[in-house]
Structure 1
Amino acid sequence: MELLLETVALFCLKLAYEAEDSSPILRDDLLMSDYEREVFGLLVRRGDVEGIQLKVDECVRLALEAVGGIDKPLGRELQGLAGEFSGARTTEQMWVPLVAIKDYLKDIL
């Protein structure tokens, strides 16, 4: 789960901050410090569903801005997927919507 959470964060930050003429954002970039696998791992071990959702929501908001907001088709779809993720009450319930978000972000990158 931690790797999947980190991947979603990475894809969101790439979408928000990576420019064509710059070097790619990587997992060990300073920008990822609040979204590292270890940070998510701690939240998962604690069963902190709300904390996990907050971290992912921060990243998704950045990605939404990057695609033009919820008024654009890409933004509406991303917001719908994020809404399903936010509705999860356990870490197990997060899995399917999180994979959907990851796959969607990967497709639009």
Structure 2
Amino acid sequence: MELHLETVALFSLKLAYESEGQSPILRDDLVMGNYQRDVFELLVRRGDVEGIQVKVDECVRLALAAVGGVDKPLGRELRRLAGEFAGIQMMEQLDGPLIALKDYLKDIL
């Protein structure tokens, strides 16, 4: 799960900050500091669903702004997927919505 969480963060930050002609954002870049796998690993170990959702929401907001907001088709779908993820109450239920969110971000990159 930690890898999927880190990947959602990475793809979101790529959408928000990466521009053509510049070096790509990588997992070890400073911008990823609060969203690296070990940060998510700690939250997962604690069972901190809310903490995980806050971290993912921070990244998704940046991605939403990068795709033009919720008024655009890409933004509406991203908001829908993020809403499903945000509505989860138990750790065991995070995987499906998390993978859907990760796959969607990968597709729009």
Give the TM-score normalised by the residue count of structure 2. 0.99
Superposed, which structure 2 residues align to 1:39-50 within 5 Å? 39-50=39-50
Give the gaps of 5 or more residues in structure 2. Answer: none
Q: Distance between the aligned counterparts of 1:10 and 1:82, measured in 2? A: 15
1:2 aligned partner: 2
2:25 aligned partner: 25
Letter in 2 for 1:84: E
Give the gaps of 5 or more residues in structure 1. Answer: none
1:100 aligned partner: 100
1:86 aligned partner: 86
Residue 84 of structure 1 and its aligned partner are, at CA, apart by: 0.3
The count of corresponding residues between Structure 1 and Structure 2 is 109
Letter in 2 for 1:59: C
2:74 aligned partner: 74
Letter in 2 for 1:39: V
Residue 31 of structure 1 and its aligned partner are, at CA, apart by: 0.3
Residue 92 of structure 1 and its aligned partner are, at CA, apart by: 1.5
Q: Distance between the aligned counterparts of 2:30 and 2:91, measured in 1? A: 27
CA RMSD of aligned residues (A): 0.4
Q: Which runs of 4+ in 1 moved over 3 A?
A: none
